[in-house]
Amino acid sequence: MIKVLVVLLLLGILGSLFSGLFYIYRDRGAGVRTARALTVRIGLSISLFLLLLAGFRFGFIPGYSQ
């Protein structure tokens, strides 16, 4: 289940990144849509980081051991 969430968040991050690139090109950097798309990307990246931390902490993601 956590793998699906990680993949969905990564796809959301990539989609937001490319939409920000598209809005930069289309609006010539003067629009609010670029900032909104990049803000969404930052929020998704933080969510992914917290999800990975929680998954590791609660044992959903196995740790590396030698």
Query: Does the pTM of the predicted model rise above 0.85?
Result: no
> Rounded distance, CA 33 to CA 11, Å?
19
On the question of pLDDT at 66 being above 60, the answer is: no
Burial 37-63, CB ≥16 within 10 A → b, else e: bbebbeebbeebeebbeebeeeeeeee
pLDDT tens per residue, range 11-65: 999 999 999 888 888 888 777 888 888 899 999 999 999 999 998 888 888 877 6
> Rounded distance, CA 43 to CA 13, Å?
9
pLDDT of the residue at 62: 82
Spell out the domain ranges in the chain. Answer: 2-57
Tokens of 15: 């989609």
Length of the chain measured in residues: 66
